[in-house]
Amino acid sequence: MIAEKYVYFFGDGKAEGNVSMKDLLGGKGSGLAEMTNIGIPVPPGFTITTKACIYYSDNNKAYPFGLEEEILEHLQKLEDAVGKKFGRGDNPLLVSVRSGAKFSMPGMMDTVLNLGLNDKTVVAFAKKINNERTAYDSYRRFITMFSSVVLGMEHKDFEFILDEEKEEQGVELDTKLGAESLKDLVYRYKEAVKSLRGIEFPQDPMTQLKMAINAVFESWDNPRAVTYRKLHDIPHDMGTAVNIQAMVFGNMGDNSGTGVAFTRNPSTGEKIFYGEYLLNAQGEDVVAGIRTPHPIADLQSQMPQVYEQLTKINKILEQKYRDMQDIEFTIEDGKLFLLQTRNGKRTAQAALKIVVDMVSEGMITKDEALLRLDPNQLNHLLHPILDPSAKYEISAKGLPASPGAACGKAVFNADEAVEMNEIGDNVILVRQETCPDDIHGMHAAKGILTARGGMTSHAAVVARGMGKCCVAGCSDIKVNEEAKYFTVGETKINQGDYITIDGSIGHLILGKVDMIKPSLSSDFGTIMAWADDVRKLKIRANADYPHDAKVARDFGAEGIGLCRTEHMFFEKTRIPIMQKMILATKEEERRQYLNELLPMQREDFTGLFKVMDGCPVTIRLLDPPLHEFLPRREELMVEIANLKCKNPNDPELAEKETLLKRIEELHEFNPMLGHRGCRLGITYPEITEMQARAIFEAACEATNEGYKILPEVMIPLIGDVKEFNHQKKIVNKVAKEVMEKNNLTIDYMVGTMIELPRAALTADKIAQEAEFFSYGTNDLTQTTFGFSRDDAGNFIRYYLDNNIFEKDPFQVLDTEGVGELIKIGVEKGRSTCPDLKIGICGEHGGEPSSIAFCNSIGLNYVSCSPYRVPIARLSAAIAHLKSKKC
């Protein structure tokens, strides 16, 4: 049996892999291979492929045939490359074991450094480097990381021991502990393992290596990694590679160090070399926030030759990858080594600036710039900022780790952040420093505040990726996570107290501060212009009021795709009239109250038409069942019971009993499939008449004032073409009357929403009468799945957690089922009316993958909420560019 190749070597200026092998070697492994091939100094090592991880996960934690032999073979090759022996000899080989999936998942999976140390090799290592302190510092770090990653212990199991040792020695920093203190820590750490895990710390290096490889494989499915993939739409079946690499040591003294750098500023996109480093440290010290690092510019004065080499490599890598790179490096006794390069995580603001600048620099094309952007990231540009006119006192300062401002109740652990968010509280997650297990709390929070850490700490990197405001390294605060408070000087802030943070400048303010929406940069306008030049889909907005329409138009909407007229009736001055109309038992009474509503609705439509001057406005006639405008049945029954007890003769009692009787008459067991939509207009044609009259009177009024009006009247919930014809006849009759009265001719259209499977399946007949289709994907999803969208939330999450559904179909269009009905409707509709205008107006109209589907089946437009219009514009452009590549 010939074994499949699962291990790829890199070293001595040559690698078996390259940058094109991310699927197999992961981002880290392919990056290490590519850097090796182009002559950048990289410690040698080998990568175990993602296929091995997938096999391990799918086969009860068993290795595929031949993997163990390949690992041993490549370990021998690594020994030969560095002239050291793993686990033996007077020059022992130590390795790092790191995860590395195809897509970057900062901090989500596991890493072990200094593997191969034991009670014997630490002595040989100390003698070889002539530095007992570095050797035992590396050993105690290894015990901590291995025990955490592999044995399931927690960092705090060792942190209190370290704190005790520092206190006993009278030092503040672990770098000030001497060799004897570190030897004592190693002993105490091993005793902690024995006490808490009931085992001796593993001394056999091969056992250590296999356990670490298994732990990295298993970290692919740890809760924080699964959560991260769900948040970032990363498939769950890709697996992670494992990178085993010869250690280089940044903790050998002040001529050594470690750092993280970016070829451009990941917060602003500015073209400057950006990053942080620590001397006499190992990699986890920078990202864990244990010590506050130095800005990379300081390295120029401390190690000028290393800094010059690093800046040259920075330029080489950016030119090679044609994108902003995130690099990790270690300096061992004055010699520079690169440990990683990957496309760097960046804020939305930085993402736009970087691609615009790279187009100007001739590095990428406009099309490439658009394809590199994540449309959903545009949401992050709409963060609130502190009101410049607000008066407040800055209580503490930290690092501006992720832009934007946030206000909320202080909360000190991730689980409680989620719980408080679910009951409607805005929260700020406050931590000494965050760790990967906090990801769900960071997602729930409005912002993150940490006492430790730098600009490349876990909190900073993850917050930027999420678009969350973050202030990191705020050393002025003292956080007590267990007691749930922090202090600033003499002031104590308890859980639930309001605080405000400004992640753009690193400020903490106690209490609430007013905020305003930000203005968008010129880079945003440039990207939107490029997107508009490319896309084929038109972008409209769902807007019910003139204010919403203005916001939408300012964001580039090309019309209104859905005006929900029922929302206008819920206003305080209108709902009593609407209720009287519903309670009326005779048509004459209903018309009386409808006549009172007519000028109000006409005024609303006039405002919409004026704002959307020259753009189409699609107005949906009344859709919800009438009971939605009446008090809740149960609440009214309680009020009646109370009145009967207090004053049975109260005249209000008779009114409420009449109201209850009407509510009982209108009660339906399944109102979403009941008396609503066009069915209301058919049984109460006077409602359709009033709304049509308001639309066309408003159109005439705005036309007379010089505006260009393009009204589109949309009949909801059609299941049969005869329903449509009934309503269309009323609309046309009223339109003719109003236009003749005003001596005007206005071009208008009458179309329908396709929300029912039957409408999609009979679209050829409906298209012979309707002038446009708009798919109401919220209701079409509901009626296709047989789910009540009001109740499905009770079990949808279970479906998602148990992989029954990959996505919530009310958020992301179900292209296999609902999408197939849309496709059938499009094909059938255009078979009888080739020029039929078709769009969608459900929530899916602002979701990128759903927009891509709409583009693929030839829709004319999508309609979404006003604040998602930029996302839709960019998504439509990306969808068209990708379709051209297929």
Q: List, for residues 640-661, the tens digit of each pLDDT value.
A: 888 888 888 878 888 888 888 8
* Percent of the chain whose pLDDT exceeds 70: 97
Q: What angle do CA 547, 551, 552 make, to 5 degrees?
A: 115
The Cβ of residue 781 has, within 10 Å, a number of other Cβ atoms equal to: 25
Reported as a pLDDT band with limits 50, 70 and 90, residue 718 is: very high
CB 427 within 8 A of CB 420: yes
Closest CA to 759 of 719, 817, 725: 719
Whole-number pLDDT of residue 806? 86
Average pLDDT, the chain: 91
pLDDT digits (tens, 9 = 90+) for 266-325: 988 999 999 999 998 887 777 666 677 899 999 999 999 999 999 999 999 999 999 999
- Residue 448, phi then psi, degrees to nearest 5: -130, 135
| pLDDT over 80 at 572, yes or no | no
The pair of structure tokens assigned to 318 is 């950016």
What value does the mean pLDDT take over residues 21-47? 95
Q: How far apart are CA 456 and CA 472, in angstroms?
A: 9
pLDDT digits (tens, 9 = 90+) for 337-394: 999 999 998 888 899 999 999 999 999 999 999 999 999 888 778 777 888 788 899 9
Tell me which DSSP letter residue 437 carries: G
| Bridge partners for 97 per DSSP | 112, 244
- List of residues 6+ apart from 759 with CB closer than 8 A: 718, 719, 752, 766, 825
Question: Strands of 491-494's sheet, edge to edge?
Answer: 477-480, 485-488, 491-494
Q: How far apart are CA 596 and CA 569, in angstroms?
A: 12
What value does the mean pLDDT take over residues 63-71? 95
User: Hunting for tokens 């029912």 — which residue is that?
Assistant: 756
Whole-number pLDDT of residue 340? 92
SS (H, E, C) 55-90: HHHHCCCCCCCCHHHHHHHHHHHHHHHHCCEECCCC
- What are the helix (H) ranges across 626-720? 633-646, 651-666, 678-683, 685-704
pLDDT digits (tens, 9 = 90+) for 160-200: 899 888 889 988 888 889 999 999 999 999 999 999 999 99
Catalytic residue of the set 458, 507, 627, 880: 458
User: Is 458 designated active site?
Assistant: yes
Whole-number pLDDT of residue 121? 96
Sign of CA dihedral 404, 409, 412, 417: negative
What value does the mean pLDDT take over residues 727-737? 98
Q: At what angle do helices 869-885 and 848-856 cross, to 10 degrees?
A: 50
User: Hunting for tokens 């408070």 — which residue is that?
Assistant: 485
- List of residues 6+ apart from 359 with CB closer than 8 A: 365, 366, 369
User: Is 563 designated active site?
Assistant: no
Q: How far apart are CA 145 and CA 133, in angstroms?
A: 18
Whole-number pLDDT of residue 520? 80
Element housing 51 (H / E): helix 50-58
| pLDDT over 70 at 733, yes or no | yes
Whole-number pLDDT of residue 660? 83
| pLDDT over 60 at 456, yes or no | no
Whole-number pLDDT of residue 108? 67
pLDDT digits (tens, 9 = 90+) for 231-257: 777 888 899 999 999 999 888 888 999
Q: Cα-atom radius of gyration of the chain, to the nearest Å? A: 32
User: Hunting for tokens 């009407």 — which residue is that?
Assistant: 662
Sign of CA dihedral 311, 312, 314, 319: positive
CB 769 within 8 A of CB 725: yes
Reported as a pLDDT band with limits 50, 70 and 90, residue 84 is: very high
| pLDDT over 80 at 685, yes or no | yes
Catalytic residue of the set 470, 563, 700, 841: 841
pLDDT digits (tens, 9 = 90+) for 471-530: 988 988 999 998 999 999 999 999 999 999 998 888 999 999 998 777 688 999 999 999
